[in-house]
């Protein structure tokens, strides 16, 4: 029961409100109603305009890529080596192959470390240590790609006394590690605990349970994480500038410098030759198609997952 004071307050307030109770019913729509409606529509239009403005560069880039590049994406482009400086013609065969070689090496470096690290984060580990590891992964994700290049230069190129495909693959692989670790952890966390418990209850060793049951269940998610990481690093140029370095010819050994699409695009773009400019556009188109293909594959693979509302 409220005390007397509160009671009288309520009564007083109610009387006051009664006596000054001017129902807005006399002009039901508040006087500023139309202004509010206008503001509402205006803000909707303004933010829509911003959203369109945001995707405009994408449209422009795509348009120019197709306009300037599609003519040059021909059989020569995929099969021929670059011609000597100044000569017209030739292709980017070595750069295309080189990109795949580098991605292959990167996967060999990044996937084991990343996936196994993710397994640790998800299946073992104390929450304190895991917190620090995740924090470290976040820090690594924020390191500019060019710094990765400098570090691998010091670690690999100098001891090997030269640029090489190994160095290029290593730097890309290292860059992938934090990303793969996090995505693997996330995906493994989604596997219901029931599976783990059922496996252990059967007397299966924990490590086997993890590898053969949990990881196997989450395999699709892990693969998509790896694919996304590959898509990201396939476009990286800066770290390759002083690790893979680029090559106008085929790299016959992995200890030699190797060409890569982004590197080739860059050096052609800043060169003074029109023909190389044309090929740079073609290279960019092919690179973007590669990245888009990987992304679309990922989308298709994850399509039967439950989608969150946008």
Q: Should residue 148 be labelled a site residue for another protein when binding is judged by CB under 8 A?
A: yes
Q: Should residue 1 be labelled a site residue for another protein when binding is judged by CB under 8 A?
A: yes
Binders in 96-115 for another protein, by CB under 8 A: 112-114
Closest CB 296 distance from another protein, rounded Å:
10
Nearer to another protein, 23 or 253 (CB): 23
Binding mask 14-43 for another protein (x = CB under 8 A): x-xxxxxxxxxxxxxxxxxxxxxx-xx--x
Residue 90 has what DSSP assignment?
B
Binders in 217-236 for another protein, by CB under 8 A: 231-232, 234-236
Helix (H, G, I), strand (E, B) or coil at 82: strand
Binders in 269-308 for another protein, by CB under 8 A: 269-270, 277, 280-281, 284, 287-288, 291-292, 295
Q: Should residue 140 be labelled a site residue for another protein when binding is judged by CB under 8 A?
A: yes
Q: Should residue 206 be labelled a site residue for another protein when binding is judged by CB under 8 A?
A: yes
Closest CA relative to residue 62, chosen from 296, 281, 290, 297: 281
Binders in 233-272 for another protein, by CB under 8 A: 234-238, 241-242, 245, 262, 265-266, 269-270
List Cα–Cα distances, 217 to 53, 195, 211, 220, 301, in angstroms.
Answer: 41, 9, 9, 8, 14
d(C-alpha 277, C-alpha 274), whole Å: 5
List Cα–Cα distances, 33 to 28, 87, 149, in angstroms.
Answer: 10, 70, 59
Closest CB 255 distance from another protein, rounded Å:
18
Burial of 81 (0-12, 13-18, 19+ CB in 10 A): middle
d(C-alpha 137, C-alpha 182), whole Å: 8
d(C-alpha 38, C-alpha 133), whole Å: 50
Figure out which of the listed residues 128, 203, 253, 304 binds another protein, where binding follows CB under 8 A. 203
Q: Should residue 170 be labelled a site residue for another protein when binding is judged by CB under 8 A?
A: no
Binders in 51-90 for another protein, by CB under 8 A: 51, 53-55, 57-58, 60-61, 64-65, 68
Closest CA relative to residue 99, chosen from 241, 277, 255, 263: 263
Nearer to another protein, 135 or 250 (CB): 135
């Amino acid at each position: 029961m409220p005390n007397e004071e509160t009671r009288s307050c309520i009564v007083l307030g109610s009387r006051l409100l009664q006596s000054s109770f001017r129902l807005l019913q006399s002009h039901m729509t508040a006087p500023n109603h139309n202004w509010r409606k206008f503001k509402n529509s205006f803000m909707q239009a303004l933010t829509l305009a911003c959203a369109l403005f945001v995707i405009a560069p994408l449209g422009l880039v795509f348009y120019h890529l197709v306009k300037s590049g599609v003519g040059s994406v021909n059989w020569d482009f995929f099969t021929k080596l670059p011609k000597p400086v100044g000569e017209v013609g030739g292709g980017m065969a070595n750069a295309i192959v080189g990109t795949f070689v580098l991605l292959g090496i990167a996967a060999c470096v990044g996937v084991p470390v990343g996936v196994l690290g993710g397994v640790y984060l998800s299946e073992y580990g104390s929450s304190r240590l895991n917190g620090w590891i995740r924090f470290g992964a976040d820090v690594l994700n924020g390191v500019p790609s060019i710094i990765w290049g400098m570090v691998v230069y010091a670690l690999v190129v100098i001891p090997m006394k030269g640029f090489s495909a190994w160095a290029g693959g290593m730097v890309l692989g290292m860059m992938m590690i934090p990303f793969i670790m996090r995505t693997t952890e996330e995906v493994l966390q989604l596997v219901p605990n029931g599976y783990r418990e059922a496996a252990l209850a059967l007397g299966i060793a924990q490590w086997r349970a993890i590898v053969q049951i949990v990881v196997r269940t989450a395999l699709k998610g892990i693969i998509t994480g790896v694919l996304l990481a590959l898509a990201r690093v396939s476009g990286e140029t800066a770290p390759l500038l002083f690790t893979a370095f680029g090559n106008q010819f085929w790299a016959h050994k992995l200890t030699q410098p190797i060409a890569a699409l982004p590197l080739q695009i860059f050096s052609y773009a800043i060169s003074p030759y029109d023909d190389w400019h044309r090929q740079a556009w073609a290279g960019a188109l092919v690179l973007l198609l590669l990245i888009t293909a990987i992304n679309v594959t990922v989308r298709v693979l994850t399509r039967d997952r439950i989608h969150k509302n946008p």
